[in-house]
A and B are shown apart, each in its own frame.
Chain A
Amino acid sequence: MDETTHSVGLAQPQRAHFDTPVTLAGGATLPAYDLVYETYGELNAARTNAVLVCHALSGNHHLAGRYADNPQSVGWWDNLIGPGKPLDTRKFFVVGMNNLGGCYGSTGPMTTNPASGQPWGADFPVVTVEDCVATQARLADVLGIDDWAAVMGGSLGGMQALQWTLDYPERIRHALVIAAAPKLTAQNIAFNEVARQAILTDPDFHGGHYYAHGVVPVRGLRLARMLGHITYLSDDQMAEKFGRKLRREALQYNYEVDFEIESYLRYQGDKFAGYFDANTYLIATKALDYFDPAGAFGGDLRAALARARAKFLVVSFSTDWRFAPERSREIVFGLVHNSLGVSYAEIESSAGHDSFLLDDAHYHAVLRAYFEGVAV
């Protein structure tokens, strides 16, 4: 096979409208909703080559390629998806979808609430991993995809891939669960709670109805993102990248930026607060916190996974302390003890949780090898 890799080229977001009500895990019902998605490659005649890629907390449906009007708008997993790339669009029909509750065009807090005529804001119901999967299944129906060749995702996206195997075992043949966990630890929930408190206590939050006030809780969002960033990187990587490097030549003896790491975090926080919606951030952190398929089985993950029929690739990264290798191994052993096909790779990487987005040669070789073994 030609090993030259290419971009998928220009991406075109599409919108599907659903008039069938959906009842979410928290009990709320949305009478109608929209889902925005992108596709790459061609669905084959037998409709057996579709791969769903689920996004994480701050991701979206724009996986690969770029938009015609913006050469900078490269998809967030462009290094993985395209002709000749590990997820090869010459073989697979790849689908990315903005989750319900998102802020990239799917129905979410920024959408008008038909009951009030105002944006939903914080009244938009919490959307769980199960809810994401249920609505992804409806998009699959619209696209004529009876079963996915594979569903893959990293972090919160990996949780969705795992949930697919439990909720629709007959509709998924392979699951790629990357840098994920079968549930968050108390420490992990704690980080999410600090992020939420930063947003909720920002005076510009206005109980989640900041749109009407023409403001955005920038301070809360940037604090949430700064905290998140610290936890997505590793101690080693931060030491290597920033160390105690100063922004200027000498200490300032004030509360402006002294160290490079401060500058980096402020930049990342500002950038994120400029484009991401605070209410969506709140929802996504709750989706993470609530995910616990073993919860309904008295904490017995093996019992929870008994419904699955798919084959699995589970991947973790050595320095990922937010979604540690140990958590991935729990999934792996739960699958083994259900006699399910599973391979597990623990990738040596210095980049912490964010490693799953990087194009490490060995990591991508593992993904490529796995996808080559997925029959279509």
Chain B
Amino acid sequence: MTNVLGRFDFDVIAKWIRPGEKMLDLGCGDGSLLRYLQDQKGVLGYGVDNDPDNVLACIRNGVNVVQFDLEAGLSGFEDGFFDHVVMSLSLQTVRRTEQMLAEMLRVGREAVVSFPNFGHRSHREAIAAGRMPVSKILPYQWYDSPNVRFFTIADFEALCGELGIAIRERLAFDGERVVTEDPNLNASIAAYRLGRGG
């Protein structure tokens, strides 16, 4: 798998986006993903970020960005306006996870989320050794982490079941290697394509 943007989950996300789609990128950072999808797929994309420097970076990057706090919800957006609502490696930074997933699937036909798997072997080993995990995908110390929700692939899939969210596709990785065997133990990142119901 090529790593076009230095964030290989972008490759996965890009695969699930069709040309000319309307998409929303929540926690869009400097807008790299949007820029890539704009150039490669001609999407009509909007980013959301609340960090002033990220907003500025998006404008410099020539992508649409709307500044607001995701914790405030997506109530400004109409039902089903977007083909895809993407949240790349940010779901763990949102406090109201259930509402966020529901909102993503309200305003989008499908949601695409990726997140660091707290169940990865190295993280379990760190905990077993008595320390909170610090790794490439979880680079923060417990006291300076932007992450507020700590969950595993198994946790996430259980929540989708409870919320009636359909998992349409899942790809799990360790580094850039695709993991098929026991992803909850062996994958450091998981990416999902989600739909409403059934």
Binding site for B on A (CB under 8 A): 313, 329, 332-333, 336-337, 339, 341-348, 362, 365-366, 369-370, 372-373
Contact = CB atoms under 8 A, between A and B. Distances in A.
A106 B63 CA distance: 39
Contacts of B56: 345, 362, 365-366, 369
Interface stretch (B5-13, B65-73, B112-120, B169-177): B65-73
Contacts of A329: 68, 76
A333 B76 contact: yes
Given A329-B76, A369-B56, A343 B66 contact: yes
A301 to B, nearest CB: 12
A345 to B, nearest CB: 5
30 contacts: A313-B59, A329-B68, A329-B76, A332-B66, A332-B76, A336-B46, A336-B77, A337-B78, A339-B22, A342-B64, A342-B66, A343-B55, A343-B59, A343-B63, A343-B64, A343-B65, A344-B65, A344-B67, A344-B68, A345-B59, A346-B67, A346-B68, A348-B52, A362-B52, A365-B56, A369-B56, A369-B59, A372-B60, A373-B59, A373-B62
Q: Which of B60, B63, B67, B77 is most buried by chain A, counting CB atoms within 10 A of its CB?
A: B67
Contacts of B65: 343-344
Contact of A341 (B60, B64, B68, B77): B64
Nearest to A339: B44
Tell me the dominant secondary structure on chain A's binding face: mixed
Contacts of A341: 64
B81 interface: yes
Interface string B102-136: 00000000000000000000000000000000000
B36 to A, nearest CB: 17
Contacts, number: 55
Dominant secondary structure at the B interface? mixed
Contacts of A362: 52, 56
B58 interface: yes
A280 to B, nearest CB: 35
Given A337-B78, A339-B44, A348-B52, A370 B66 contact: no
Among A342, A344, A366, max chain B CB count under 10 A is at A344
A337 B55 contact: no
B115 to A, nearest CB: 26
Interface residues on B, range: 20 to 34
Given A343-B55, A344-B68, 17 more contacts: A329-B68, A333-B77, A336-B81, A337-B77, A337-B78, A339-B44, A343-B58, A343-B64, A343-B66, A344-B65, A345-B52, A346-B67, A346-B68, A347-B52, A348-B52, A362-B52, A373-B60
Select the residue from B22, B52, B63 with max chain A CB neighbours within 10 A.
Answer: B52
A29 to B, nearest CB: 41
A129 B88 CA distance: 42
A362 B55 CA distance: 10
A18 to B, nearest CB: 37
Contacts of A346: 67-68
A372 B81 CA distance: 30
Contacts of A337: 77-78, 81
Contacts of A369: 56, 59-60
A63 to B, nearest CB: 23
Closest 3 CB pairs of A and B: A333-B76, A369-B59, A369-B60
A329 B72 CA distance: 13
A74 to B, nearest CB: 27
Nearest to B46: A336
A1 B56 CA distance: 19
Nearest to B69: A346
Given A337-B78, A337-B81, A373-B62, A366 B68 contact: no
